[in-house]
Amino acid sequence: MTGSPVEWVEDRPAQSVRTCIGCRQREPSADLLRIVARHRDTGSAGVAIVPDPRRRLPGRGAWLHPVSACLRTAERRRAFGRALRVSGNLDISALEQYLENRHEHS
C-alpha cells in the first residue's frame, strides 16, 4: 500500500450517542438523562420508572431529554415499556418529580 498516513482531524474523546425515547432525536449521552425500571416491593404492584443521573443503577436503561415535553411524548407513545422491556402498571411520578425539581434549580 502506498499513500499518506491517516490523519486524525479531531483530538477529542469519543462520545456515545443515544436516542431520546420521547422525541427520537440522537444526541450525545451527556445531554440525555438515563432512566431505569425498578420493580416495587411485593406489597404493591407495578414498576417505578426512576431517573439515573449518575448512570450507575443496574438494569436496562433508556435515554430521555430532561425536559417535560419529551417526557409527555414518551408517555403518549408508551415508549417506557418498550424501551425498558417491562409491562404492567408503570409509575413515572419519580421521574416527573425529578424533572420538576431540576427545572426549578436551573
The mean of the pLDDT values for the chain is 88
C-alpha to C-alpha distance for 20 and 62, rounded to whole angstroms: 8
pLDDT of residue 46: 84
DSSP 45-83: -SEEEEE-TTS---S-EEEE-SSHHHHHHHHHTTHHHHH
Segment 7-54, tens digit of pLDDT: 655 666 778 999 999 999 999 999 999 999 998 766 566 899 999 999
C-alpha to C-alpha distance for 12 and 14, rounded to whole angstroms: 6
